[in-house]
Amino acid sequence: MRKHPISFTINGDLQELFVEPRKTLLAVIRDTIGLTGTKEGCSTGDCGACTVIVDGEPVTSCMLLAVSANGKEVTTIEGISSPDQLHPVQQAFLETGGYQCGFCTPGFIMAAKALLDDNLDIPEDEMRHALGGNICRCTGYTKIVEAVLSAAETMRANA
């Protein structure tokens, strides 16, 4: 299958690649670039495990063809913390126990980060609906919601 040249930035690094048109952004992130923090849970855009941030918006990367990411700015779970500083959302998930098996966690954290980047004052019920595109099977969401509320508080204090 003929490959297409694309270029985009991922976590600040420029990537210039030749990709088959059938490859998803998720496949390219995981298999070509080798960043495996972004997970594949359903391949149909329903579970949110593959959520990354593209030009500031949360996107299920299994539903975006890689060629469509040409020229865009992509952020994955690997791109939001430094070795000595977790992102407030990550720190809050860690402290409240907002993860168990951890498979949905990177996608959840990216969705929550995008949500809070947009609105730090979001009320719990709206936040629960806004995160409705991310499935977690282990936690029952109680501690995830606590984590996002706690992260919002930290981020408000730091803002």
Applying CB under 8 A, the residues found at the interface with another protein are: 20, 22-23, 27, 30-31, 34-44, 46-47, 49, 76-78, 81, 86, 90-91, 93-97, 99-106, 109, 127-129, 131-146
**C-beta closer to another protein: residue 43 or 154:** 43
What is the nearest approach in angstroms of another protein to the Cβ of residue 94? Answer: 5
In the 8-state DSSP scheme, what is residue 29? Answer: I
Q: In this complex, which beta carbon is closest to another protein, that of residue 35 or of residue 69?
A: 35
Smallest gap from Cβ 71 to another protein, in A, equals 24
CA proximity to 57, closest of 118, 107, 130: 118
Q: How far is the CB of 7 from another protein (least distance, A)?
A: 22
Shortest spacing between CB 111 and another protein, in angstroms: 10
**What burial class does residue 12 get, using C-beta atoms within 10 Å of its C-beta: 0-12 exposed, 13-18 middle, 19+ buried?**
exposed
Closer Cβ to another protein, 17 or 49, answer by number: 49
Task: Please tell me the distance from the alpha carbon of residue 116 to that of residue 89, in angstroms, as a whole number.
Answer: 9
CA distances from residue 98 to 30, 87, 115, 144, 147 in whole angstroms, order as listed? 24, 14, 17, 4, 6
Using the minimum distance from each CB to another protein, give the nearer residue, 71 or 102.
102
